[in-house]
């Protein structure tokens, strides 16, 4: 591996980076033009209209959606509104046994699928939402997660995510996020949970906390073990994109997507449900500023974001010291190719250190 901090003369990086949390997921960072096998994903021009007469998620069309589950604020005009999904991928009306036959196994499609209309304004971008509004939205996420876990002990995981743009899976242009409650822990969350528990067993610290510490280290010197001479200096502080009082946004060293950014609590915390109400404002501020940075650099890019929190299964207590909740923001700036699907190796054509620098340099 070449040193990411001292790239070749032409600034090119070509190396395989191992995801520190899930080592089976690696990324090929290849910035040389000739190494770019990807096609650029189309931008999704934002529909900036505040109100659209025919949109089922706009105010005045409440009768076009399934019944409301939650709303904010409770009185007066709603600003955030949560409803059941008209076309659920999982539904609680489908009580059926799992099906197993030889190598063909299915898991019961039991669960819940709900929609959160993030904002009453049709086309508002996340970075244009007020911090107080975003804090209320995170509060709604927590309230619904709590209600779902309390309502049915078969639910093991609640995945909250947002899609922006058709390629990112958004079928309705009005800004919204989704909640899917599942009877199983998704494999990628489970891999994070298992690997971070293994790291904890071996090193007695949370791997995510260690990654944050590294990101906050401004300069580290690596000495040669035998001679004591300086082998190299690395500036790991370069992974910080945004820092709040309680939360931090960092660019993962092994980013799968060119502009991927993760937001984590600075102090160890396994469960998103443990974020205190008064801290949601800081989370909202870090989120809002991170999205503004992304918009300034890759405005119009389609993206997904999703929350990873400790699963509420039998291992919850045991995993509390080793797992650290986070929000992953994954802008889709290029289309995965057969190479990526066939190898499982993500190709990232922008050096993560340079991407972080460009995001940090945005004047907000």
The binding site for Zn ion (CB under 5 A) comprises 52, 55, 57-58, 122, 174, 206, 208-209, 268, 308, 324
Q: Which is nearer to Zn ion, 58 or 185 (CB)?
A: 58
Q: Which is nearer to Zn ion, 230 or 267 (CB)?
A: 267
Q: Which is nearer to Zn ion, 31 or 304 (CB)?
A: 304
Nearest to 149 by CA among 272, 66, 326, 269: 272
Contact at 8 Å (CB) between 251 and 318? no
Beta carbon of residue 333, minimum distance to Zn ion (angstroms, whole number): 20
Beta carbon of residue 178, minimum distance to Zn ion (angstroms, whole number): 16
Sign of the CA dihedral 28, 170, 118, 300? positive
Paired strand residues for 105: 100
Query: 287: alpha, beta or left, given left = phi > 0 and alpha = psi -120 to 50?
Result: alpha
Q: Which is nearer to Zn ion, 70 or 210 (CB)?
A: 210
d(CA 215, CA 236): 5
Beta carbon of residue 66, minimum distance to Zn ion (angstroms, whole number): 16
d(CA 143, CA 261): 25
**SS3 state at 90:** coil
Beta carbon of residue 209, minimum distance to Zn ion (angstroms, whole number): 3
Q: Which is nearer to Zn ion, 57 or 253 (CB)?
A: 57
d(CA 257, CA 167): 14
Q: Which is nearer to Zn ion, 110 or 258 (CB)?
A: 258
Beta carbon of residue 267, minimum distance to Zn ion (angstroms, whole number): 8
DSSP state of 300: T
Q: Which is nearer to Zn ion, 242 or 260 (CB)?
A: 260
Beta carbon of residue 227, minimum distance to Zn ion (angstroms, whole number): 35
In the numeric block, the tokens 């049709």 are attached to 122
Contact at 8 Å (CB) between 5 and 234? yes
How is residue 160 written in tokens?
Answer: 């909250």
DSSP structure string for 103-126: TEE------EEEEEE--SSTT--G
Q: Which is nearer to Zn ion, 13 or 352 (CB)?
A: 352
Give the list of residues 6+ apart from residue 153 with CB closer than 8 angstroms, or none: none
Give the list of residues 6+ apart from residue 334 with CB closer than 8 angstroms, or none: 38, 39, 40, 41, 258, 349
């Amino acid at each position: 591996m070449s040193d990411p901090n001292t790239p070749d003369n032409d600034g090119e990086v070509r190396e395989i980076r191992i995801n520190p949390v899930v080592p089976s997921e690696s990324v090929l960072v290849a910035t040389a033009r000739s190494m770019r096998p990807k096609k650029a994903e189309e931008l999704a021009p934002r529909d900036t209209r505040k109100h659209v007469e025919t949109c089922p998620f706009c105010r005045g069309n409440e009768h076009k959606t399934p019944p409301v589950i939650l709303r904010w604020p409770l009185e007066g005009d709603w600003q955030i509104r949560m409803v059941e999904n008209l076309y659920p991928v999982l539904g609680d009306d489908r009580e059926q046994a799992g099906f197993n036959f030889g190598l063909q196994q299915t898991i019961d499609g039991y669960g819940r699928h709900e929609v959160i209309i993030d904002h009453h304004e049709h086309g508002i971008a996340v970075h244009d939402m007020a911090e107080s509004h975003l804090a209320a939205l995170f509060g709604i996420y927590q309230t619904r997660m709590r209600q779902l876990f309390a309502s049915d002990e078969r639910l093991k995981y609640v995945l909250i995510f947002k899609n922006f743009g058709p390629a990112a899976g958004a079928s309705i242009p009005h800004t919204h996020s989704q909640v899917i409650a599942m009877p199983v822990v998704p494999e990628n969350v489970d891999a994070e949970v298992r690997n971070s528990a293994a790291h904890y067993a071996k090193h007695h610290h949370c791997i995510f906390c260690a990654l944050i510490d590294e990101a906050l280290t401004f300069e580290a010197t690596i000495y040669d073990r035998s001679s004591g001479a300086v082998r190299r200096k690395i500036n790991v502080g370069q992974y910080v994109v945004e820092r709040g009082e309680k939360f931090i946004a960092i660019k993962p060293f092994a980013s799968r997507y060119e502009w991927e950014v993760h937001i984590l609590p600075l102090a160890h915390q396994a469960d998103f449900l443990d974020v205190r109400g008064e801290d949601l404002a800081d989370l909202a501020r870090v989120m809002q500023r991170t999205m503004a940075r992304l918009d300034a650099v890759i405005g119009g890019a389609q993206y997904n974001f999703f929350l990873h929190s400790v699963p509420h299964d039998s291992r919850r207590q045991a995993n509390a010291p080793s797992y650290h909740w986070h929000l992953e923001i994954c802008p889709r700036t290029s289309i995965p190719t057969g190479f990526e699907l066939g190898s499982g190796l993500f190709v990232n054509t922008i050096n993560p250190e340079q991407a972080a620098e460009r995001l940090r340099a945005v004047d907000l």
